Structure formats: structure tokens, C-alpha cells
């Protein structure tokens, strides 16, 4: 008897549990919603942590401590810790509860509706957040670019006619072509070459290493490499140390117009080649060796194998790498900001956007520049998505 | 590397030095203590109400336990000095002044203000930025609770005008700065038998002597990231003040005359003669653009004697001189006033007297709470300048700060120069509309130097064309 009861309990849950689930889940959802609403109010309230702590003290009967906190506030570290605990609890616990509740609610709907509604319940919050933090700012930026400052014509007129802006746009084109092209080409060649090196992993590690350095860090390093000292003085910059060793006068790499843009592009190539190499190397290794062997047996030269067989076969990977790097390059800011600050005709669109916004408080110009950058990125995104689709990833 | 915006300045406003001189002859008009009033009194406090001023209420302990956030550009030693200025005040009143020093403070300030998280009080070096924030309705009007008439008496008046918009006060000048000074190596200078130049011709003769002795006269360097250019614009402004009437300078800053007015072209040409004359500048014009502004004077301390002898820069430069970096904090190797002192950049045309180019930092207020008002009122008292003034490197625009607090070298030397000055004008580039003053004016002179001073008129015409 007892055995059968336990078995039955295991297979079909007892009434109590079932009731608890049917009632509890929606309740949990409701509680989660309330908790989230409360937490938002709590987060925007500057002395929220202090009031919460005072409330807790009061609740457990330590009225004296509660009173002290109400009057004097709490140290900022304590306040941050309380904030952190609340954020974690609500962020994990309450959101979990809301999903359980929503799930239970949807399950009560008819089977026809359930399939329709359920996906939205789960992606809904993500969509909401994307809307709040991506779509809304984008719309608001476009609005700013059309209305603030000198209006649409003035703001965009500035972008495409101001003498210094034309230089910045020219530089962005140089960056896009040379930094992207340079990284991909170098990455591809290196990927091809290391494929035959004995200590391949070691070689790849060294080339990949710059990827681990932040843009700002790289820019600071290269600032030293490009440092200039008057002729006859010790050259602390690596570039000038080598250059002057051959009897040349030191060159102010970062201060001579146009030369400095190439010097900066080199930093980006140094940073991104590793990324290109790793992806392309994986693609090369994925090639069926029979094809290449067949080509060699047919008498193809190495360059023919490379250009006629390898490159076409890993075309998809090359496009992915190129578009990814192109997007990074279009947005380039840190390198220019740290090294030249856009002076000496080395400005780029993103740096100018920063200058217009934070130095000049020219919000209309800054928004127009942001919109131009956004529009420039769109075609690259389209190429990327199409490429992914072709590879069967997006479908 | 420490990045700061030193370029400070403002609308050309007369430091009423000549006017003040009538009241207080023979002493510095700007920092002359008002003997009738004890320095510690709250000279510039609010209009008394039934409850007293906010400062008085704070002193009575009414705001005990409150916190006031202050954001400024002063870090490291300067931050210690600034905090020393209000340490006693915090102890007495129980107000916690939460100071945050950020070198790139304009960016941080704009982010926080636009993000709705403005500090209670912030330092601003550019009057242009203050006016822009005021136009966007971000600042608290100080006239609402401070006695501006009293402030006008206590302060160098032009500082009050500079921080006002349409007759209302939005900024309180806290720290003043002089740019018209030239540093030289004391011992070597004396050994070589050189004399401090009193006139521009003396200066040119001194440069010739130095060159005849096989050395280079000037250390000039201005590489400062996105702020590169302000050293040159300071030079042009200083020369313009010496070659044109004050009215011309004022009209130029306010853009009532074209940016490329003949007077400005003339001043720029005179600067060009120094910058691009054969053998005048250590490292040539490339060095001007390619050497970090803080490293400019390092060659003066070269082991084999000065590689360059003259360096025009404001009085904060000693903190960038070579130091023993093996200790923490680094130990200075050279003492201002002993290893290197400064002299006043000599006048050019006697008609225009001895003008001084200056700048300063004002404090502005974003949040209107009683304790914030009290702290602002406190910053207007001489006590709020005491510690830093005595530590050196701080000149207060508040005339109630006693003269005898200026004991250490840079401050005492600056006080002396101010005493002999005929007029003071603010850094034009910081006062002009930002996209010119911090934008095309800087980038224009940078290109001008890169091209070795070619086409001066075209460069200035281009800046004129960029005025919005």
C-alpha cells in the first residue's frame, strides 16, 4: 500500500503541489512585477538605500539606528552595496518570478493562442529594452540632427562642406580602405603562411596578442613609438630611433599632415590583423585537402592555389572578417583621440562628433555626424547579414 | 601623463587695476587686503535674512551631516591643496564636501549635466562653457542668494562681470592665473651676465646675445592632444595686448571686428618672428607642435647648461619640471624662485603700458540646496583660499585675501607683477565661442606652425570664415 502511494506521488504530483503551482506561479509573477516597479522607484531615488536600511532597522526593532540613518544618511559605500544587493535580487529573482508567472498565464490560454503568444512573452522584455536603449536613442539622435542648432540643412551642410569636416571625411575613407584592406590582406597572408610553420600556435599567439590590448592602450603605446625629439637628442621613440640610425633627421610622425593618418592606420592594422588571421586560418583549415592536392597534382603554382582555390573557397569568411573590421574602423575614435586629438589634419568623423558634443556643445552638429556614421555603417551591415544568410546561418 | 586644460580665460574685461590703484596705491590692487575687514569674515555672504545667511546657518551647525559634491580639474598635489582649503570648514559645520578631481573635467561635466547627474558645484575654466550651460538653463543664478554688490567690492570687478550673464551672476571666480610671465634659469642667467629685459627691444637684444653665445633662446612646446594650440594663442593674445588698444582686444574677442583685423595680423607676425626666426626656438617649429606642453622647459635643466633659456608659461609649470620619479610622490629636483624664476613679458609699445594676460577658474552651481548655497558662500570668503595660497601656486581673485599669505615664490612673484600691471585681460580663446576659441583658432595656429608661419593672413582669414 505504502509503496504504491509513494509511486503514485512520484509520477503524478499530489493535489497540494498542483494547487501551489497553479496559484503560486501567477502570484509569483505578480510579486515579481511589483518588485520590479518598486526597484525602479528605488533606483531613481537618491536616498533610496538609506531609507530602505532605515526601514529594515525599524522593522526589526532597532528604532535608534533607524532614526540615526534617517537623520545622517549612510556612507556612500554602504549605499552602493545596498543598491547592488537590491539590483541583484530584483534583477535575478523578480525577473525569474515574472517569467514563471507569465508562462503560467499563457498556459491557461487555448492551445491555438498559446503558440502565438508564448514567444512574445519571452522575447518581449528583450525587445522592450532594445527599444528603450537602441531604437529610441537612435530616433532621438536623428531628431536632434534635424532640429537642434542650425537645423537639418545647417547641420548636414556643415558635415559635407566645412573644410575641416571634408578632411575628416577624407580620412575616414582612407581608414576604411587601408585599415580594413591592410588587416584582411595581412591576416590572410599570415594565416596562409603560419599554416606551414612548425610552431604554428606560438606564431599565431604573438600575432593575435595585440587583440588583447584596448584601443586606448594601443594608442598610448604607439604614442611612445612615434615620439619625436630634436635632431641630436636621444630618440626615445622606437620609430625615430630606427629612422635616425640610418642617418635621417627625426620625423614627427604624428604631427605631419596625412603622414600621421597613415601612422595611425598602422596602429589599427596592428590591432586587427590578429583577429583576421585567426578567423581566416580556421577557414583555411576547414578546406578539404583533396581540392588543394588535386590542384597541385594538376600543376598549379602556389600563387594559383592561393588566388584561384583558397581565396574563392573562403570568400564567405573573408567578407565576414572584412565587414566586422570595417565597422570597427568606421567608428574609430580612441586611437585618434589619444594620439593627436584630431589636430594636424588627422581628424575622423567619430572624434569630431565627440569634439562637437563635449567641447563645443554643438549638439546639432554632433547628432548629424552620428547619423552620417550610422548611414555609412548600414550598407556594411547589409553585406554582412546577406553573407551570413548565404552561409546558412541567418536562415 | 597628466592632461589638464590650463588655457583659461575670458571676455576681455578690464581688471580695474588703474581704478583700484587710486584706492590702494603702492600695493597690489588685486590682492590687497581690505584692512577694515578681518580676513576670516564672510565678506561676500548672502543678504541677511531672519535666519542669517546660509553660511551663518552652516556655521551654526544647521546643515550638519549633509553632503555637497564638488567636481574640478585639480588632481594630485593640487587636489590636496584644494581640500586643505575647506578641511576646517567641514570640521566646523559637519558638511561633507565630497571632492572629485578629474583632469578631463569638461567631458565629465558635460556627460553628467546632460545625463541628469550634475555635481552640486563644479569648476569651469572657460567662460564660454559657462555661458553655454547658462543658455541651456543648467546653472543656478547666484544673484538670488549672494550679495553681488558686496562681491563687486571684494573681488577684482572684471571677474564678476566675466561670470555674469545679463546682469545675473552664475559663476564665482575662485582661482586666478597669469600668463604673461617668462621663466629663465637663475644661476646660468647670472653667470652669463644677462639682464632681465625691461622692454621688447631688450628682449630681442637678449635673444641675440644668447644666440651669439651659441645657445637657443626659447623653449616653446604646445603638444597637448586635442587642446594643442593654446600656447600659441596665448602668445598672440599677449602680443596683441602690447601692440593695440584694449578696446581693439575687447572688440576682437566679442567679434565686433573681424578675427583677422590688421592689429591681429600684426601681433601674429610679431609672434611669428620669434617662433620662426633662425635658431630662436629649441628644436625649431617641429618641436613646438611635437613636444608635450609640460615638457617644454625640460631642456632648460639640461646637465651641460641650459639648452634653451626662456620659457613663457603660467605659474603652474613647476609641477611639470623634471622630478625624481623613483619616490612617491615624485620629489621635485628644482625649486621655483631658486633654480628658475620668471620675469614679466616686456611691453612692446609704451603707449599701451604693461598689460597682463590672465585667466582663472570659476565655480558654478547646479543644485540648489541650502547646504550647497552655504558652501558657495564659503568659497567666496578669504578663508577658502588660505591653505593653498600659503602652500604656493594659488592667487585668489578675492582682494580680501591678505597680502602676507602670499609668501612662497610663484605667488609672491605674481602678486608683484599684478601690482605693476596697467590692465588685465582674459585669455581670448577661452572666451570666444567654443568652436572658434577651442576649435579653429587652435587648429589654425597649429597648421600655421606646421607650415613654418607661411600665409599668416590666409590662416587668420580662414579662422574668421569659421566664426558661426
If asked whether residues A170 and A274 sit together in one domain, one would say: yes
- pLDDT given at position A353: 94
Pairing of strands B308-312, B181-185: antiparallel
Residues A61 and A164 in one domain: no
Helix (H) or strand (E) holding B181: strand B181-185
Cβ separation of A255 and B440 shorter than 8 Å? no
Query: Picking from A9-13, A115-119, A333-337, B446-450, which range would have the lowest pLDDT averaged per residue?
Result: A9-13
pLDDT at res. A40 = 80
Confidence of residue B34 (pLDDT cuts 50, 70, 90): very low
- Residue A261 belongs to a domain: yes
Same domain, A20 and A162: no
Asked if the structure places residue A146 within a domain, the reply is no
Question: What phi and psi, each to the nearest 5 degrees, are found at residue B322?
Answer: -55, 135
pLDDT score, position B51? 66
> Are A255 and B443 a contacting pair at CB < 8 A?
no
CA distance A378 to chain B (A): 27
**Is B150 part of the contact surface with chain A (CB cutoff 8 Å)?**
no
Residues A289 and A382 placed together within one structural domain of the fold: yes
Give the model confidence (pLDDT) of B289-314 as tens digits: 999 998 999 999 998 899 999 999 99
Is the domain of A231 the same as that of A361? yes
Both A289 and A215 in a single domain?
yes
Angstrom distances, CA of residue B133 to CA of A224, A254, B141, B178, B364: 37, 34, 12, 25, 10
pLDDT at A35 over 70: yes
pLDDT band at B139 (very low <50, low <70, confident <90, very high): very high
Of A80, A108, A136, which one is at a domain's C-terminal end?
Answer: A108
Distance of alpha carbon A172 from alpha carbon A347, whole angstroms? 8
Using an 8 Å Cβ cutoff, are B82 and B384 in contact? no
- Whether B6 shows a pLDDT value over 50: the answer reads no
pLDDT in tens, A114-154: 888 888 888 888 899 899 999 999 999 999 999 988 888 99
For residue B170, which of B221, B233, B122 has the smallest C-alpha distance? B122
Residue B8 in this model has a pLDDT that exceeds 50: no
pLDDT grade for A17, boundaries at 50, 70 and 90: confident
Using one digit for the tens of pLDDT, what is the confidence trace for B459-468? Answer: 999 999 988 8
How many other C-beta atoms are found inside a 10 Å radius of the C-beta of residue A46?
A: 10
Evaluate if residue A5 carries a pLDDT over 60: no
Architecture of domain B181-353+429-465: 3-Layer(aba) Sandwich (3.40)
Tell whether the model's pLDDT for residue B37 goes beyond 80: no
Q: In terms of Cα–Cα distance, which of B364, B372, B432 is closest to B112? A: B364
* A298 is a domain residue: yes
CB contacts < 8 Å between A and B, how many? 81
Distance of residue A47 Cα from the nearest chain B Cα, in angstroms:
12
A280 with A163, same domain: the answer is yes
Instruction: List the single range of A5-19, A242-256, A365-379, B206-220 with lowest mean pLDDT.
Output: A5-19
pLDDT band at residue A13 under the 50/70/90 scheme: low
Contacts of B228 in chain A (CB under 8 A): 340-341, 343-344
Of B65, B67, B446, nearest to A343 by CB-CB distance is B446
Residue of B nearest to A71 (CA): B65
A96 plus A183 within the same structural domain: no
pLDDT at A43: 74
In the predicted model, what is the mean pLDDT of residues B317-327? 87
Residue A69 in this model has a pLDDT that exceeds 90? no
- The predicted model gives B399-404 an average pLDDT of 84
Nearest alpha-carbon partner for B431 in B242, B158, B226, B189: B158
Residue B87 has pLDDT above 60, yes or no: yes
B64 contacts B95 by C-beta, under 8 angstroms: yes
Give the per-residue pLDDT at B376: 95
B225, A338: Cβ pair inside 8 Å? yes
Top-confidence residue, B38 or B424: B424
Question: What does the pLDDT read at residue B262?
Answer: 96
The per-residue pLDDT for A393 is 56
Residue A2 pLDDT more than 60? no
Task: In whole angstroms, give the CA distance from residue B232 to residue B220.
Answer: 9
CA closest to A72 among chain B residues: B65
High-pLDDT (> 90) share of chain B, %: 59
CATH code of the domain containing A277: 1.10.3720.10
- For A360-393, how does the pLDDT look when each residue is reduced to its tens digit (9 = 90+)? 888 999 999 999 999 999 999 898 888 888 876 5
Ranges A1-15, A19-33, B147-161: which has the least confidence: A1-15
In this predicted model, what pLDDT tens digit does every residue of B332-359 receive, in sequence order? 899 998 999 999 999 999 999 999 998 8
pLDDT beyond 80 at B78: yes
In a domain, A120, yes or no: no
Residue B411 pLDDT level (bands cut at 50, 70, 90): confident
Return the pLDDT at A89: 85
Number of domains in chain A: 2
Q: In Å, what is the CA distance from B5 to each residue of B226, B230, B311?
A: 10, 9, 18
**Chain B residues in contact with A171 (beta carbon < 8 A):** none
Check whether B29 has a pLDDT greater than 50. no
Over 50: is that where the pLDDT of A6 sits?
Answer: no
Give the residue from B295, B287, B280, B296 showing the smallest Cα distance to A252. B287
Rounded CA-CA distance A3/B364 in Å is 80
- Among candidate residues A108, A128, A162, the one where a domain is terminated: A108
Interchain pair B446, A341: CB under 8 A: no
Q: Which CATH architecture has domain B17-178+357-428?
A: 3-Layer(aba) Sandwich (3.40)
| Cβ pair B228:A360 closer than 8 A | no
> One fold for both B17-178+357-428 and B181-353+429-465?
yes
Residue B107: Cβ-neighbour burial (10 angstroms; 0-12, 13-18, 19+): middle
Average pLDDT, chain A: 86
Residue-level pLDDT at A197: 84
| Average pLDDT value over all residues in chain B | 85
Separation CA B153–CA B400 (nearest Å): 9
Residue A281 lies in a domain: yes
- Residues in A closer than 8 angstroms to B440, CB to CB, are 164
DSSP tally for chain B: helices H, then strands E: 20, 14
C-beta of residue B100 within 8 angstroms of C-beta of residue B83? no
User: What global pTM score does this model have?
Assistant: 0.79
Least CB–CB distance from A341: residue in B67, B226, B466: B226
Per-residue confidence (pLDDT) for residue B369, from 0 to 100 = 93
Q: Which residue has the higher pLDDT, A1 or A388?
A: A388
CA dist A167 and A348 (Å) reads: 8
Nearest residue on chain A to B69, alpha-carbon basis: A76
**Percent of the residues in chain A that have a pLDDT greater than 90, as a whole number:** 43
Q: Which domain holds residue A262?
A: 154-390
Within a domain: residue A119? Answer: no
- Give A-chain residues touching B289 at CB under 8 angstroms: 252, 255, 344
What is the predicted ipTM? Answer: 0.77
The residue that leads in pLDDT, B418 or B273, is B273
Domain ranges of chain B: 17-178+357-428, 181-353+429-465
Amino acid at each position: 500500500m505504502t509503496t504504491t502511494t509513494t509511486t503514485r506521488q512520484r509520477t503524478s504530483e499530489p493535489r497540494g503541489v498542483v494547487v501551489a503551482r497553479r496559484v503560486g506561479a501567477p502570484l509569483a509573477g505578480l510579486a515579481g512585477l511589483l518588485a520590479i516597479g518598486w526597484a525602479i522607484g528605488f533606483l531613481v531615488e537618491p536616498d533610496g538605500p538609506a531609507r530602505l536600511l532605515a526601514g529594515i532597522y525599524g522593522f526589526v526593532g532597532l528604532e535608534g539606528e533607524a532614526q540615526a540613518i534617517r537623520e545622517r544618511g549612510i556612507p556612500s559605500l554602504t549605499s552602493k552595496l545596498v543598491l547592488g544587493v537590491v539590483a541583484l535580487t530584483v534583477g535575478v529573482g523578480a525577473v525569474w518570478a515574472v517569467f514563471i508567472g507569465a508562462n503560467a498565464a499563457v498556459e491557461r490560454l487555448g492551445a491555438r493562442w498559446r503558440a502565438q503568444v508564448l514567444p512574445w512573452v519571452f522575447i518581449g522584455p528583450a525587445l522592450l529594452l532594445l527599444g528603450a536603449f537602441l531604437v529610441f536613442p537612435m530616433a532621438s539622435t536623428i531628431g536632434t540632427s534635424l532640429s537642434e542648432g542650425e537645423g537639418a540643412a545647417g547641420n548636414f551642410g556643415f558635415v559635407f562642406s566645412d573644410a575641416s569636416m571634408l578632411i575628416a571625411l577624407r580620412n575616414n575613407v582612407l581608414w576604411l580602405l587601408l585599415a580594413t584592406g591592410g588587416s584582411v590582406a595581412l591576416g590572410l597572408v599570415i594565416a596562409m603562411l603560419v599554416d606551414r610553420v612548425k610552431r604554428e600556435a606560438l606564431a599565431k599567439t604573438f600575432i593575435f596578442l595585440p587583440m588583447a590590448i584596448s584601443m586606448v592602450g594601443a594608442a598610448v603605446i604607439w604614442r611612445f613609438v612615434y615620439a619625436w625629439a630634436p635632431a641630436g637628442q636621444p630618440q626615445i621613440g622606437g620609430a625615430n630611433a630606427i629612422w635616425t640610425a640610418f642617418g635621417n633627421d627625426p620625423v614627427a610622425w604624428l604631427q605631419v599632415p596625412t603622414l600621421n593618418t597613415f601612422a595611425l592606420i598602422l596602429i589599427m592594422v596592428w590591432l586587427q590583423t590578429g583577429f583576421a588571421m585567426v578567423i581566416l586560418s580556421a577557414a583555411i583549415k576547414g578546406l578539404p585537402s583533396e581540392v588543394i592536392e588535386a590542384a597541385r597534382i594538376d600543376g598549379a603554382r602556389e600563387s594559383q592555389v592561393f588566388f584561384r582555390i583558397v581565396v574563392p573557397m573562403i570568400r564567405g569568411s573573408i567578407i565576414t572578417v572584412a565587414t566586422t573590421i570595417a565597422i570597427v574602423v568606421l567608428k574609430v575614435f580612441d586611437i585618434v583621440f589619444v594620439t593627436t586629438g584630431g589636430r594636424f589634419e588627422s581628424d575622423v568623423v567619430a572624434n569630431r562628433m565627440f569634439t562637437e558634443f563635449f567641447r563645443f556643445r554643438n549638439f546639432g552638429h554632433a547628432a548629424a555626424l552620428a547619423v552620417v556614421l550610422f548611414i555609412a555603417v548600414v550598407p556594411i551591415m547589409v553585406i554582412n547579414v546577406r553573407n551570413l544568410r548565404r552561409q546558412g546561418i541567418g536562415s | 601623463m597628466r592632461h589638464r586644460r590650463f588655457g583659461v580665460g575670458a571676455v576681455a574685461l578690464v581688471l580695474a587695476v588703474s581704478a583700484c590703484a587710486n584706492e590702494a596705491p603702492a600695493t597690489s590692487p588685486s590682492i590687497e587686503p581690505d584692512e577694515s575687514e578681518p580676513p576670516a569674515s564672510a565678506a561676500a555672504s548672502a543678504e541677511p535674512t531672519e535666519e542669517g545667511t546660509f553660511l551663518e546657518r552652516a556655521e551654526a551647525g544647521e546643515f550638519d551631516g549633509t553632503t555637497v559634491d564638488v567636481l574640478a580639474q585639480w588632481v594630485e598635489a593640487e587636489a590636496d591643496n584644494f581640500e586643505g582649503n575647506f578641511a576646517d570648514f567641514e570640521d566646523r559645520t559637519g558638511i561633507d564636501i565630497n571632492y572629485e578631481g578629474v583632469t578631463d573635467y569638461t567631458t565629465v561635466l558635460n556627460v553628467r549635466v546632460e545625463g541628469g547627474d550634475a555635481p552640486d558645484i563644479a569648476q569651469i575654466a572657460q567662460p564660454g562653457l559657462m555661458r553655454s550651460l547658462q543658455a541651456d538653463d543648467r546653472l543656478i543664478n547666484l544673484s538670488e542668494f549672494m550679495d553681488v554688490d558686496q562681491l563687486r567690492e571684494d573681488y577684482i570687478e572684471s571677474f564678476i562681470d566675466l561670470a555674469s550673464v545679463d546682469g545675473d551672476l552664475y559663476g564665482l571666480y575662485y582661482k586666478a592665473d597669469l600668463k604673461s610671465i617668462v621663466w629663465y634659469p637663475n644661476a646660468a642667467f647670472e653667470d652669463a651676465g644677462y639682464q632681465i629685459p625691461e622692454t621688447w627691444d631688450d628682449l630681442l637684444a637678449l635673444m641675440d646675445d644668447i644666440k651669439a653665445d651659441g645657445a637657443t633662446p626659447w623653449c616653446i612646446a604646445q603638444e597637448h592632444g586635442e587642446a594643442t594650440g593654446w600656447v600659441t594663442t596665448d602668445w598672440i593674445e599677449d602680443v596683441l595686448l602690447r601692440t593695440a588698444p584694449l578696446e581693439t582686444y575687447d572688440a576682437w574677442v566679442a567679434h565686433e571686428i573681424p578675427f583677422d583685423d590688421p592689429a591681429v595680423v600684426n601681433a601674429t607676425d610679431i609672434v611669428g618672428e620669434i617662433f620662426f626666426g633662425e635658431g630662436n626656438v629649441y628644436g625649431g617649429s617641429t618641436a613646438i607642435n611635437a613636444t608635450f606642453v609640460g615638457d617644454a622647459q625640460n631642456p632648460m635643466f639640461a646637465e651641460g647648461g641650459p639648452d634653451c633659456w626662456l620659457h613663457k608659461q603660467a605659474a603652474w609649470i613647476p609641477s611639470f619640471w623634471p622630478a625624481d620619479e623613483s619616490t612617491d610622490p615624485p620629489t621635485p629636483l628644482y625649486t621655483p624662485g631658486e633654480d628658475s624664476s620668471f620675469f614679466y613679458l616686456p611691453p612692446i609699445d609704451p603707449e599701451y603700458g604693461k598689460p597682463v594676460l590672465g585667466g582663472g577658474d570659476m565655480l558654478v552651481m547646479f543644485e540648489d540646496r541650502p547646504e550647497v548655497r552655504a558652501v558657495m558662500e564659503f568659497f567666496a570668503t578669504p578663508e577658502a583660499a588660505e591653505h593653498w595660497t600659503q602652500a604656493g601656486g594659488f592667487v585668489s581673485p578675492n582682494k580680501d585675501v591678505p597680502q602676507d599669505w602670499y609668501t612662497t615664490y610663484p605667488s609672491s612673484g605674481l602678486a608683484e607683477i599684478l601690482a605693476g600691471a596697467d590692465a588685465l585681460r582674459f585669455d581670448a580663446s577661452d572666451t570666444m565661442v567654443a568652436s572658434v576659441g577651442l576649435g579653429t583658432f587652435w587648429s589654425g595656429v597649429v597648421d600655421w606652425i606646421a607650415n613654418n608661419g607661411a600665409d599668416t593672413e590666409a590662416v587668420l582669414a580662414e579662422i574668421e570664415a569659421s566664426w558661426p
